[in-house]
Structure 1
């Protein structure tokens, strides 16, 4: 019994020590109000280490002693973000900020709105996932959809709690934030590296990124990394304003910048920018601007997103550092979406802590506006201290033999015609199905679930097929056989056979899916369905001119021009012919006008979470039947579709006497309309 009592006492002592250390971490990193000295803190940690060394069964995964414990990794695993980590749109002037504020007020139909403002940290974006209050995953931003699993390294950052404190913590909580290095910590680190004869870092951001991506967590643990949380990706159990969410996260033990504030209107944004500009040098960490976010989550949801960025947030960047160097040449890069971007090749120049050899020139209009030419001396800056760009030529140093630069009329990657839509700055390659620069993206899109739905053909396998030179266009997929597939890495006989079967099944599809799969610019699922319904056949869509295409709902003149340019490109027509020759077939549709659709003239609003459909799928289903789906409730609304946890839109519907339908009623409505 005495031994059992000793074990119980040790277990209780260990837990008390863990709670004390967590509390002191919270006071130090979150509240910035330490109540004990570093020496006292170290004594508590050493006592806990001794207890756990004597009785290893006392060790828990979230113990403060386990911040360094994992073996060095051979490489980082890839993690798919359950919710994409989006970028923010940037502004470099007060006029751009005023436009941002005006767009929001116009869309929300409000005179003024409240914004949460916070410093834009110059570090490394990170996603942290907590399950039942315990840290289970740390992942880098990566490309926004996929990042690197750096959980072992994240666990060594003392500012990041391994276990959250307090009550009512959601079962699943995913937060987003920035790992960075303070200026003082950076200076101490470089001094230590220099004394050891090791290579020093150029700036705190590079130091933070390099430290977090160490394969040995023990190395990361020795680096003075810090963390600030700037938001949550999940919403369950959280308040309805951004500022209140940050307060709640701070109460649960996650550090939040003390500079966060809430302001009203454009006057508040101007004041915040001025305040942060003045405080920039006084802070012990690098910031490169100010982030503005709509404080209300309901308003955020109503604003929505555009491309890879939210409409409700903006990063207002500080002026960047500038240098002068020689512009050696202007080359054109073709992006994965076919966008042609002029890139300046520069004589190496040291700007903002890094050596710059390339810089963006954005587009042909920008090159013409700035009148930069190969051979010029140019001013280069790192926009937002990150992305190098050419600002302007130094005209009094311009050589006599320079020539005005022009965008090529053929894609440098595949020779297809370059599409330049009137009113748009970006020129694009029109050979989306054949261009090597777009090949991977085109095939991934073609195989995706909403397109040809080729099960098992994911991004990694597409990359292998392209790198092995087995697939040059989507049509080549249907020439693959099991023997060729088995030559690929990790592709056994069974997997190869399954993929061949999936390819065979995908040959029979719908016209809407096939149109969407072709990857025509700005032709999404809904637009593809409208085109299929209006024209009835692929040949009819291909032969239609921009004017006829623009008459289709959800198309309009700009998208009509994109569709016409796509089918005008002979290379694309060749691939389509090859697809049809390979046995890809669809059921022709009887052309119908929108006015003839069963839900034409009706307007619906979606609120809350649906169980069997995503909001996007519900919207598409309604729009396919001719309905209009809006974000706000009015007397003209036909009905509100309410899922679980509906927002204020449900209250508005009841107030106005608008009909409310649940998910089952929605499914019945859609079945009646088929």
Structure 2
């Protein structure tokens, strides 16, 4: 067959398959059998394998996945992904309505106000960029400013169009919510053993989108509703028009939204859906109310975190009643003991609840919890189950009160409780199995050392066989050690050892976070790294200097001192240094460009150029970028004409203040 004919057949097959996908997923009907559809798809898969030069990156074969993503690229959002203000009360909604009307009157555009009410779907936010009608990029919310590139995984969602038809903007973004239906969640859990079942659809969706193999994502059968569109010179003036338009473009838009002209109509919509939403195939937890007119939205503007023209109303959590079967105790990586209530199964907000956290001894005492009590259970935000009360009138005679344990359930060490803290701890940090394995699992996670060739089960095997007793032991592992593990062959053994070796390039601030020092999270680890610049200085830092670091304070400072006062910890740090881990902030290779001479800068507020670009230029010119104030800071960069907390603090500390223009001049000179 001539290559032109092959290309023609592939294009024809893709068109036919897309047509049947649209009928099935958007119009809920079929013109051919599943077997006929599979034959078409398999034919196209075979042709793409034989003639990869003709394969379309947005071919319908991408729906079945197969792309393996080692690391998810971090992408800066063109338009920030903001969160919404929440309320649970009618009074707050009426106040929101009054604020909106007053704001529009102040702008002189108080023409007839309309709201669009939409169900608030409980899934994972996604942003999709289309260029020339083709899906070009899919990203998670992340921190609202930047998220992860999950394009390969998003392509497996059958209701997301990969190729659009018709008159379209050259480039635009659509925002929506990826979710897993109740039916699919139950199907997935039915395939798992009791201890491995997933907790809820939302968390399962989030984890699915971050799987490295898109073929596995495809098997999860995720779905997506779209509810917003952004771009330049878009062909509509209201949110309602936008929803109608993107639906005509082929996007899956829930038809549950409604236009309201008064706050009374909004409240009627909310009341109507309080019960109706429970019949939907997915989780919902409230209603989103948006001003319909784009002109009015623009006039109302934004706060630092959310739009002034929208608000989310949250329904009160659903409550269930069930019996307490027992209380067990879990040991975390820091030794913290968490009591868990084991419950007789109860249906709650679309899932079956069998366990609920009791948090600590204070909570057990507050509830006055007794053996076999009947308890009320609800989901906080309809996600995490919690016990909210006890039906004391139904308590069994002679039922004993639940007493918090005195010994660690894993290693039998006597528990301690630090004055002023609610939690009990097991102090056996180096001999308690869950703590040891938990520290290693924390050490290898993506935001720490990012050793993706290891996993929870592998760590358990390594620990059980005595090959790894702390994080430093990881760097002594050999291919022979890996081959001794169940399920490991030559290739997987090499991959494990190579993955550990590659982690040696991890920056110092991530190494510091990876150590798992109690209370030292990512942000604090960065600030400690910036202030002390190397592990040796941090290791011997006095309590007073640690407390002076921004966002540290007494509790964190004492925890750092206690960590380095423990000889077992310092031995581990020394072994990690000998293994080649980075123990100081490394200077950037500047070549001949060192014009800023190591001066440090802190950027605050809004800039005409993206902050990340300015920071990159500072580093490339020999400067340092600090996330907060310290005695070592040379310049605060701020465009604010009014005095802010940071500019006031800079003046008090004698730190020079630059505008963006002055910084640009410094970089250019």
- Contact 1:122/1:180 (<8 A) preserved: no
Equivalent residue, structure 2, for 1:472:
469
Listed as ranges, the matches of 1:496-645 within 5 Å are: 515-520=512-517, 521-523=519-521, 524-529=524-529, 532=532, 537-541=537-541, 544-545=542-543, 549-564=546-561, 566=563, 570=566, 573-580=567-574, 584=578, 608=610, 610-611=612-613, 620=626, 625-626=632-633, 633-636=640-643
Equivalent residue, structure 2, for 1:405:
403
2:250 to 236, 248, 253: 253
Determine the C-alpha separation between the residues in 1 that align with 2:127 and 2:484.
36
- Quick check: 1:660 aligned with 2:667? no
2:320 to 322, 344, 351: 322
Relative distance call for 1:638 and 1:169 in structure 2 (3 A) is farther
1:473 Cα deviation from its structure 2 partner = 1.7
Relative distance call for 1:289 and 1:145 in structure 2 (3 A) is same
Listed as ranges, the matches of 1:130-145 within 5 Å are: 133-134=133-134
Determine the C-alpha separation between the residues in 2 that align with 1:338 and 1:402.
27
What secondary structure is seen at the aligned counterpart in 2 of 1:626?
coil
Relative distance call for 1:497 and 1:587 in structure 2 (3 A) is closer
Equivalent residue, structure 2, for 1:196:
none
Q: Deviations over 1:64-102 (max 9, x none)?
A: 9968996xx9x997786556999989979449989x99x
Relative distance call for 1:273 and 1:252 in structure 2 (3 A) is same
RMSD of aligned residue pairs (Cα, Å): 6.9
TM-score, length-normalised on structure 1? 0.58
Relative distance call for 1:495 and 1:323 in structure 2 (3 A) is closer
What secondary structure is seen at the aligned counterpart in 2 of 1:392?
strand
How many residues end up aligned between the 2 structures?
562
Listed as ranges, the matches of 1:51-200 within 5 Å are: 82=73, 93-94=88-89, 118-121=118-121, 133-134=133-134, 154-155=157-158, 159-165=159-165, 166-170=167-171, 175-179=175-179
What secondary structure is seen at the aligned counterpart in 1 of 2:344?
strand
Equivalent residue, structure 2, for 1:460:
454
- Contact 2:437/2:460 (<8 A) preserved: yes
Determine the C-alpha separation between the residues in 1 that align with 2:419 and 2:150.
34
Determine the C-alpha separation between the residues in 2 that align with 1:602 and 1:145.
24
1:576 Cα deviation from its structure 2 partner = 2.2
- Contact 1:280/1:287 (<8 A) preserved: no
- Contact 2:602/2:627 (<8 A) preserved: no
- Contact 1:324/1:380 (<8 A) preserved: yes
Determine the C-alpha separation between the residues in 2 that align with 1:93 and 1:478.
51
- Contact 1:433/1:575 (<8 A) preserved: no
- Contact 1:419/1:430 (<8 A) preserved: no
Relative distance call for 1:287 and 1:480 in structure 2 (3 A) is closer
Equivalent residue, structure 2, for 1:396:
393
Determine the C-alpha separation between the residues in 1 that align with 2:412 and 2:150.
31
- Contact 1:340/1:426 (<8 A) preserved: yes
1:320 Cα deviation from its structure 2 partner = 0.7
Determine the C-alpha separation between the residues in 2 that align with 1:242 and 1:415.
64
Determine the C-alpha separation between the residues in 1 that align with 2:241 and 2:70.
25
Equivalent residue, structure 2, for 1:303:
305
Gaps spanning 5+ residues in structure 1: where? Answer: 106-110, 190-203, 305-311, 590-596, 641-655, 669-674
Determine the C-alpha separation between the residues in 1 that align with 2:430 and 2:241.
45
Q: Deviations over 1:10-65 (max 9, x none)?
A: 99x96998799699969x95xxxx9xx979x889xx99x99x999x9999989999
- Contact 2:604/2:638 (<8 A) preserved: no
Higher mean alpha-carbon deviation, 532-541 vs 16-25, is at 16-25
What secondary structure is seen at the aligned counterpart in 2 of 1:344?
strand
Equivalent residue, structure 1, for 2:197:
none
- Contact 2:140/2:148 (<8 A) preserved: no
1:355 Cα deviation from its structure 2 partner = 4.5
Determine the C-alpha separation between the residues in 1 that align with 2:289 and 2:568.
47
Q: Deviations over 1:637-674 (max 9, x none)?
A: 8999xxxxxxxxxxxxxxx9944367895699xxxxxx
What secondary structure is seen at the aligned counterpart in 2 of 1:328?
strand
Equivalent residue, structure 1, for 2:286:
290
TM-score, length-normalised on structure 2? 0.58
Determine the C-alpha separation between the residues in 2 that align with 1:117 and 1:616.
45
1:322 Cα deviation from its structure 2 partner = 1.6
Determine the C-alpha separation between the residues in 2 that align with 1:411 and 1:353.
33
- Contact 2:410/2:434 (<8 A) preserved: no
Q: Deviations over 1:132-157 (max 9, x none)?
A: 64458999999x989997668633xx
1:395 Cα deviation from its structure 2 partner = 1.0
Higher mean alpha-carbon deviation, 627-636 vs 315-324, is at 627-636
What secondary structure is seen at the aligned counterpart in 2 of 1:460?
coil
Relative distance call for 1:620 and 1:430 in structure 2 (3 A) is farther
